[in-house]
Copies of this chain bind each other. A is one copy, B any other.
Amino acid sequence: MRAEKLGSSIRREQIARAAFALIAEGGLKAVRIGAIARRVGVTPSAIYRHFAGKDELLEEMIELIRSRLESNLQAAQESKGDALEVLEELLARMVGQIRENQTIPRMIFADDFYLGRPDRKSRANAMIRSFLDRLTETIRRGQREGQIRPELDAQVTSVMFLGLFMPPGILWFLSDGGFDVTRQTREAWMVFRRSIEVERDAAQSRGRGGKRIAHSVRGRK
């Protein structure tokens, strides 16, 4: 039975989708031309009408990930709130992404991806760096605007932010979805937030350098 004949831009789209679905199920290793073809409903050789080869497909996938990351950042930054709210929104989005398919970390850690291709590795690196840079920028803004403690190193803090969702993502993956990422990140965010934010309740005692309340009392769990 012959598959319906469709325009190449449509097929490219379908193929990329299929590839992402496969990553979600079995990791990069599971992205095989044959498997993609089956999923799309054509024969393996048909894939080559739309991509020069597997490499080109993978490049397109990196690009899609990049733009997804980008749009997360964009959306979070456009939410009108202050820096802390932007971070919180971004965290929620990253968690959503993890729950959706874990694509990003799985590609980043897939050796197949880099083996013999230093260019790809440095592109992935650049991608994360730029993500971090924008994170850093947001944190600096928070510092300027008085929500985030000025003595923190913004770059260090941005990497710590990654620490809020990466390990939970890994646990979620290893446990086949059994680990409660949402709860973990929610709680971790509260702890993290308290450790970076300027303490407001202390306003009354400001100028005296005395005891800080924030650390001891606000134990909403």
Give A contacts to B, CB under 8 Å: 26-30, 105-106, 108-112, 114-115, 121, 124-125, 128, 149, 151-153, 156-157, 159-160, 162-164, 166-168, 170-171, 174-176, 183-184, 187-188, 191-192, 194-196, 199, 202-203, 205-206, 208-212, 215-216, 219, 221
Contact = CB atoms under 8 A, between A and B. Distances in A.
Given A162-B163, A174-B128, A215-B199, A151 B184 contact: no
B191 A202 contact: no
Contacts of A29: 111-112, 115
Contacts of A30: 111, 115
A27 B152 CA distance: 35
Chain A at the B interface: SS class: helix
Q: How many copies does the complex hold?
A: 2
Among A105, A160, A191, chain B packs the most CB atoms within 10 A around the CB of: A160
Nearest to A28: B111
29 contacts: A26-B115, A29-B115, A108-B170, A108-B174, A121-B174, A121-B176, A124-B174, A128-B174, A149-B215, A151-B221, A156-B187, A156-B188, A159-B167, A160-B163, A160-B188, A163-B164, A163-B167, A166-B166, A166-B167, A191-B195, A191-B196, A194-B195, A195-B195, A199-B212, A199-B216, A202-B210, A202-B212, A205-B215, A206-B212
A195 B195 CA distance: 5
A213 to B, nearest CB: 10
A111 B163 contact: no
Contacts of A108: 170, 174
A22 to B, nearest CB: 10
Among A28, A111, A202, A206, chain B packs the most CB atoms within 10 A around the CB of: A111
